Amino acid sequence: MALVRYMATTAGRATRIGAGLVLVIVGASLGGTWWILAAVGLVPIAAGLLNSCLLAPLFHAPFRATASHHS
């Protein structure tokens, strides 16, 4: 649950975006079928930009970080 709380913070958003960028850069740099890794990297980038956490529902937490402040 601490991970989900962290991901709801500004630092968590930055971590998701940063990790996604790393995946995209590595996948693009390696080329070939590694482009799949680059495509997967778009998921945490989108999640960070949209302020959502894809793992949160697994821990019965709100999908969007802004909803966590209301409960």
| 67, pLDDT greater than 80 | no
Domain span at residue 59?
A: 2-68
Q: Which residue has the higher pLDDT, 68 or 60?
A: 60
Tens-digit pLDDT profile for residues 7-58: 888 898 999 999 999 999 999 999 999 999 999 999 999 999 998 888 788 8
pLDDT of residue 44: 94
Q: Which residue has the higher pLDDT, 44 or 64?
A: 44
The number of distinct structural domains making up the chain is 1
Angle, alpha carbons 61-55-51 (nearest 5°): 80
Separation of alpha carbons 47 and 53, rounded Å = 6
pTM, two decimals, is 0.78
